[in-house]
Amino acid sequence: MKTLFAIFAVALVAVQARGQETPWPFPELPYAFAALEPHIDARTMEIHYTRHHRGYFNNLVKATAGTPLAQESLETILAKISTLSAAVRNNAGGHYNHTLFWQVMSPTGGGEPEGKLAEAINAAFGSFAEFRKQFSQAALTQFGSGWAWLCVAEDGSLFVSATPNQDNPLMDVVERRGTPILGLDVWEHAYYLKYQNQRGSYIEAFWNVVDWPAVAARFAATQK
Ligand code: MN
């Protein structure tokens, strides 16, 4: 009987989630929880995706229910975040950031970018090694919870930044606005089970799973 109720409850939530029909659905994880091992462990991935990301999503649904925001794109919402509530800021940011994060990692990731993205990185930072150093430093020195980003500026050039909490470079509250094409979650929930307080080890491991073709596709989309 309990099982029947559980199945019913899950089905109801699924129907409700579909009923929302927002332009920002909860995404599928594009790989298994264990796919990024040993760099990111399966248990961390499972908790991060099913609890943390799901929590931001559910709270965003609640915070926007019955308002015009429920029908607006995340990009539109983020661009005017200074006018909205803390609940929308935290959860729209959380939902956008994690959706991007899952998509820029892959079990076949690592290595270095090629083509136009590689050229843009060289133009902005001098070399891939220098870019990697600056991004890692931004991730390491972000005090408390937050994110490190590789962004495309208005003029098409690249820059590195970091933002606190669930803020991101699309928000109208950040020091430098841009379109993020690579992001690294440096909240402790992203690494504490495997790396404890060693954020630097987690950042080093991250480079082994970066999906450069996915980042290059995001870069290309900003150049149109
Ligand atoms: Mn997170």
pLDDT (tens digit, 9 = 90+) per residue, 117-149?
999 999 999 999 999 999 999 999 999 999 999
Residue 130 is predicted with a pLDDT of: 98
For the chain, the three-class secondary structure string (H helix, E strand, C coil) is CHHHHHHHHHHHHHHHHHHHCCCCCCCCCCCCCCCCCCCCCHHHHHHHHHHHHHHHHHHHHHHHCCCHHHHCCHHHHHHCHHHCCHHHHHHHHHHHHHHHHHHCECCCCCCCCCHHHHHHHHHHHCCHHHHHHHHHHHHHHCCCCEEEEEEECCCCCEEEEEEECCCCCCCCCCCCCCEEEEEEECCHHHCHHHHCCCHHHHHHHHCCCECHHHHHHHHHHHCC
CA of 54 to the centre of ligand 1 (A): 10
Cis peptide bond prior to 68, omega within 30° of 0: no
CA of 73 to the centre of ligand 1 (A): 21
Instruction: Using alpha carbons, select from 80, 57, 82, 61 the residue that is nearest to residue 71.
Output: 61
pLDDT at 162 over 60: yes
Mean local confidence (pLDDT), 17-41 = 89
Q: What percent of the chain has pLDDT over 70?
A: 91
CA of 189 to the centre of ligand 1 (A): 6
Residue 153 is predicted with a pLDDT of: 97
Q: Could you tell me the two tokens for 39?
A: 């760099």
CA of 211 to the centre of ligand 1 (A): 18
The neighbourhood of ligand 1, an ion, using CB within 5 A, equals 52, 185, 187, 190
Q: What is the pTM of this model?
A: 0.91
pLDDT at 15 over 80: no
pLDDT at 9 over 80: no
pLDDT at 16 over 90: no
CA of 2 to the centre of ligand 1 (A): 32
CA of 123 to the centre of ligand 1 (A): 31
CA of 127 to the centre of ligand 1 (A): 29
CA of 193 to the centre of ligand 1 (A): 13
Residue 21 is predicted with a pLDDT of: 80
Residue 47 is predicted with a pLDDT of: 98
Mean local confidence (pLDDT), 97-109 = 98
> Mean pLDDT for the chain?
93
Task: Give residue-wise pLDDT tens across range 174-210.
Answer: 999 999 999 999 999 999 999 999 999 999 999 999 9
- Burial degree of 59 (CB within 10 A; 0-12, 13-18, 19+): middle
Instruction: Using alpha carbons, select from 149, 152, 162, 154 the residue that is nearest to residue 116.
Output: 152
How would residue 20 be classed by pLDDT, with cut points 50, 70 and 90?
low
pLDDT at 115 over 80: yes
